[in-house]
Amino acid sequence: AAGVIQSPRHLIKEKRETATLKCYPIPRHDTVYWYQQGPGQDPQFLISFYEKMQSDKGSIPDRFSAQQFSDYHSELNMSSLELGDSALYFCASSFPGEGPYEQYFGPGTRLTVT
């Protein structure tokens, strides 16, 4: 079965640089979620999109922005990177008809800021 695809899988950036993370949801899934998991921590919700509109917002810094495109893929743009942004970034997707609120996670993008 098709899964959530994230690219790149690993990314190394320097402080103050910009990074773009991409997420391709499972086919037919119309909702995308972004989570940030710091070292030794649980995933923290950043933002979600439903049918290309922002549906919920969590603890996402103002330096970050995201959007969902017409093909339902999503991009998380991160600017003025800080050392504390080093984390594993997960994208998840869901479709209401496939179980209530079940979110299927991608493999994650490991971002390292040096």
> Site size for other proteins, by CB under 8 A?
27
- Nearest distance in Å: CB 106, other proteins: 8
Looking only at residues 14 through 53 of this chain, which bind other proteins when binding is defined by CB under 8 A?
31, 33, 35, 37, 41-45, 48, 50
| DSSP per-residue string spanning the chain | ----EEE-SEEEE-TT--EEEEEEPPTT--EEEEEEE-TTS--EEEEEEETTEEEEE-S--TTEEEEE-TTS-EEEEE-S--GGG-EEEEEEEE-GGGSTT--EE---EEEEE-
Q: Is 90 in the site for other proteins (CB under 8 A)?
A: yes
Query: Which of 56, 65, 82, 98: binder of other proteins (CB under 8 A)?
Result: 56
Q: What residues make contact with other proteins under the rule CB under 8 A?
A: 31, 33, 35, 37, 41-45, 48, 50, 55-56, 58, 88, 90, 92, 99-105, 107-108, 110
